[in-house]
């Protein structure tokens, strides 16, 4: 899994990976090695566990395209900020086929659930646990 600037940092196999509060607020870019259709990486159970560790708790997910998800600390960002970020990102999207969603998601560590957010509306989305052998 990769982080900001497409630098190619593989944080999954590093025990002491550190992310500053500034970067937690700005967001880290999550994708897969080939940077194609990488937004789904946020659903992998081991990735979720690592993101909870890195973000020190619950986090927001902004799907900027089918290729990546931006992860933000829930302690440092507001839903309004992230909805504005997503609107801007979606309005600049070059290819409509890369559009994924206009919703911001919240991952609740205690409940192991993703919650779809829009303004004051919250909709529960159960975490999809993928069989890691397939």
Residue 30 to residue 50: CA distance in whole angstroms: 12
Distance from chain centroid for Cα 15: 20
Mean pLDDT of the chain: 81
Q: What is the pLDDT of residues 79-126, one digit of tens each?
A: 999 999 899 888 887 688 888 899 999 999 999 999 988 776 666 555
SS3 state of residue 118: strand
Kindly compute the dihedral angle of the four CA atoms of residues 94, 95, 99, 102, in this order, to the nearest 10 degrees: 40
Q: What is the pLDDT of residues 32-79, one digit of tens each?
A: 877 788 889 999 999 999 999 999 999 999 998 899 999 999 999 999
Give the model's pLDDT for residue 69: 92
Q: What is the pLDDT of residues 51-61, one digit of tens each?
A: 999 999 999 99
The strand pair at 68-73 and 28-30 is best described as: antiparallel
**58 closest CA partner among 2, 112, 12:** 112
Phi, psi of 62 (to 5 degrees): -115, 115
pLDDT category at 27 given cuts 50, 70, 90 is: confident
Q: Give me the DSSP letters along 82-104.
A: HHHHHHHHHHT-S-GGG---S-E
- The pTM of this model reads 0.79
Give the model's pLDDT for residue 3: 44
Strand partners, 60: 72, 106
């Amino acid at each position: 899994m990769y982080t900001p600037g497409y630098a190619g940092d593989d944080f999954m196999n590093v025990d002491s990976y550190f992310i500053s509060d500034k970067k937690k607020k700005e967001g880290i870019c999550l994708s897969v090695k080939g940077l194609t259709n990488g937004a789904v990486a946020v659903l992998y159970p081991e990735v979720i566990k690592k993101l909870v560790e890195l973000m020190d708790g619950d986090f927001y997910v902004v799907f900027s395209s089918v290729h990546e998800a931006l992860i933000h600390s829930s302690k440092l960002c507001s839903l309004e900020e992230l909805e504005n970020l997503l609107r801007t990102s979606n309005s600049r999207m070059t290819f409509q086929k890369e559009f994924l969603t206009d919703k911001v998601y919240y991952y609740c560590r205690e409940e192991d659930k993703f919650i779809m957010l829009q303004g004051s509306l919250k909709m529960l989305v159960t975490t999809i646990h993928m069989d890691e052998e397939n």
